[in-house]
Chains A and B, each alone.
Chain A
Amino acid sequence: MNWTWFHKWGSPKWFFQKTESLIYWFGFLALIFLVVGLVWGLAFAPEDFKQGNSFRIFYIHVPSAILAQSIFLAMAISAAVGLIWRMKLAHVFVETAAPIGASITLLALLTGAIWGKPTWGTWWVWDARLTSTLIQFFLYLGIISLHQSIENRDTASKATAIACLVGVVNLPIIKFSVNWWNTLHQPATFTLTESPAMATEMWVPGLIMVLGFYMLFAYLVTLRMRSEILEREKGSAWVKAYLEKLNVL
C-alpha cells in the first residue's frame, strides 16, 4: 500500500494549502445541515406524545453528546499518531481540538440539564451517563490545563498526547464503573446495528443535526489548525509568501 498521502498530510505546508478550499466546504456543509436540521427539528418534526415540545432539545443535546465522545477518540488516535510517527500536525490537532471538545461537552451537559428539568423534574441527577460525561469534561479540562502550563512547545505537545492516551484507556473503565454504580438514563438512541426506536420523521432531522455538528467541528478545528500552523511556521518562506499575497506584510 502506498503511504505517501499519509506523509503528505503530515506536512504543515501541504495541509495548509489543501485545506484552503476544503475549509469553505466544511463551513458551507455545516451551515446547510444545521439550518435544515434545526428548522426541521424545531418547527416541523412531530411533537413527542409524552414530553410535548420539550423533547426538541434532543436535536442539540444528542448531537453534542455524540460529538463530545468522538472528539475525545479522535484526539487519542491523533495523539498516538503524533507520538509514533513524530508528526507535529497530529499534535496540532490534539491541542486545537481539546478546547472545542470541552465546549461541546459543556453544551451537552447544559442542554441535558435543561431537558432534565421538565422531563425528570430536576436539573441534575447522579445518573451513570451524566456522571461519565461530567468526568469526561473534567478530563478535557485537565488536558487543556496541562498543555497550557508547559512552556516548551514540543514538551507540551508530547505530554498532552500521553495524557490523552492515558485518558482514553481510562474512559471505558470510568464508563463501566459509573454505569455499574447507577443507571437511570435511557439507553443510546442511535446505534450502528439497529434502527432507532423513534419515529422516522423524528430521528431524521436528528441525524442531519449530527452530521451538521461533525461538519461544524471539522470547520472549527481546521480554522484553528490553520492559524496555529501560521503561528508555528511564521519564520518559513512559504508563510511569508502567503502573507505577502494577502498584503498583510
Chain B
Amino acid sequence: MIGRVFHYEFLQAYRRRSELVTPVVFFVLVCSMFPLALGSVADLLAPLASGVIWVAALLATLLSLDQMFRQDFDDGILEQMELSEVPFYQLVAIKILAHWCLTGLPLVVLSPLLAMMLFMPSESYLSLIVGLFLGTPILSLIGAIGAALTVKIRRGNVVLSLLIMPLYVPVLIFGATAPVMAAQGIMPAAQLLWLAAMLVLAATLAPLAASLGLRINIYGS
C-alpha cells in the first residue's frame, strides 16, 4: 500500500508536469531578481547569497504547498486513504516525502548553480547544500500541516502562507547562517545539527498533526 501510494504520487506529478516545474522556475526567477535589484557587484552579492537562496527556497515551497492535498481531497482519494487499513498518518508521511522529492530535492540540486550566479564563496557551498538537504524536508513537513488545515478553503494559499511562514523562522535562521559561518572559516556544525534535530522532530510530529487536520476536513467536524 505504502509503495503504491508513493508510485501514485509520482505518476500524478508526471501527468501534471507543468505544475511540477513551476516552483523550480519560481525559485530560479526569485534568485535572479536580486542581482537585478541590488546590482551585479560580486562583493555586494556574495554575503547575501545564502539568505537570498534560502528565502527563495522558502517561497518556492510555499507556492507548491497548496497543491499537496487539494486534488486528492477534492476527488475523494484522501477519504479512501483514511479508510484503508494502513494508518492514515503513514500515508500522509509518504505524501509529504513524495512532495519533498518533487519540489524540495530539485531546489537542493539547483542551489549550487544559483550560488555560483550570486558569487557565493566556495567554502560555503557544502554547508548550503547540506543545510538545504536537511532544511527543505522540514519546510515540506511543517507546510503539510498548513496545507491540511486549509485544504477546504477555496483561496487557501494566502491563509496558508500567513499561517506557515512564522513557523519557518528557525529553519531560515539556521539554514541561512550556516554558509555565512563557513565563509568565515568556522565549521557550522551547530547550525546543521540543529537543522537535523528539527528535521527529526518535524518528521515525528508533523505527519500526525497533518493527518489530524485532514481528518477534521474530511469528516467536517
Interface residues of A in 135-153 (CB under 8 A from B): 135-136, 138-139, 141-143, 145-146, 149-150, 152
Whether a CB of chain B sits under 8 angstroms from the CB of A197 is no
> Contacts A135-B166, A138-B165, A173-B198: A149 and B217 contacting too (C-beta < 8 A)?
no
Query: How far does the Cβ of A132 sit from chain B's closest Cβ, in whole Å?
Result: 8
Report Cα–Cα, A143/B213, bound state, in Å: 14
| Majority DSSP secondary structure for residues of B touching A | helix
Report Cα–Cα, A141/B198, bound state, in Å: 24
In the complex, which range does the number of interface residues on chain A fall in? 20 to 34
Closest to B153 in A: A149
Query: How far does the Cβ of A90 sit from chain B's closest Cβ, in whole Å?
Result: 15
Report Cα–Cα, A162/B221, bound state, in Å: 13
> Could you say which residues of chain B place their CB within 8 Å of the CB of A138?
162, 165-166
- Determine whether the beta carbon of B212 is less than 8 Å from that of A162: yes
Whether a CB of chain B sits under 8 angstroms from the CB of A154 is yes
Report Cα–Cα, A208/B93, bound state, in Å: 49
> Could you say which residues of chain A place their CB within 8 Å of the CB of B205?
169
> Contacts A138-B162, A162-B149: A177 and B217 contacting too (C-beta < 8 A)?
no
Query: How far does the Cβ of B45 sit from chain A's closest Cβ, in whole Å?
Result: 21
- Determine whether the beta carbon of A174 is less than 8 Å from that of B169: yes
Report Cα–Cα, A126/B169, bound state, in Å: 14
Interface residues of A in 207-228 (CB under 8 A from B): none
> Contacts A150-B153, A178-B173, A181-B177: A159 and B166 contacting too (C-beta < 8 A)?
no
> Could you say which residues of chain A place their CB within 8 Å of the CB of B159?
142, 145-146, 149
Q: Select one of A158, A165, A170 contacting B216, CB under 8 A.
A: A158
Report Cα–Cα, A154/B221, bound state, in Å: 5
> Contacts A155-B217, A159-B217: A146 and B169 contacting too (C-beta < 8 A)?
no
Closest to A180 in B: B173
- Determine whether the beta carbon of B163 is less than 8 Å from that of A155: no
> Could you say which residues of chain A place their CB within 8 Å of the CB of B198?
173
Report Cα–Cα, A173/B174, bound state, in Å: 11
Whether a CB of chain A sits under 8 angstroms from the CB of B150 is yes
Interface residues of B in 42-70 (CB under 8 A from A): none
Whether a CB of chain B sits under 8 angstroms from the CB of A41 is no
> Contacts A162-B145, A166-B145, A181-B173: A142 and B166 contacting too (C-beta < 8 A)?
yes
Interface of B toward A, CB cutoff 8 Å? 142, 145, 149-150, 152-153, 156, 158-159, 162-167, 169-170, 173-174, 177, 194, 198, 205, 209, 212-213, 216-217, 220-221
- List 12 contacting pairs A-B, 8 Å CB cutoff, sorted by A: A138-B165, A139-B166, A146-B159, A149-B159, A152-B220, A155-B216, A159-B149, A162-B212, A163-B145, A167-B167, A169-B205, A177-B174
Interface of A toward B, CB cutoff 8 Å? 135-136, 138-139, 141-143, 145-146, 149-150, 152, 154-155, 158-159, 162-163, 165-167, 169-170, 173-174, 176-178, 180-181
Q: Known A-B contacts: A173-B198, A174-B167. Give 8 more (CB < 8 A).
A: A139-B167, A146-B162, A149-B159, A152-B221, A155-B216, A163-B149, A163-B163, A166-B209
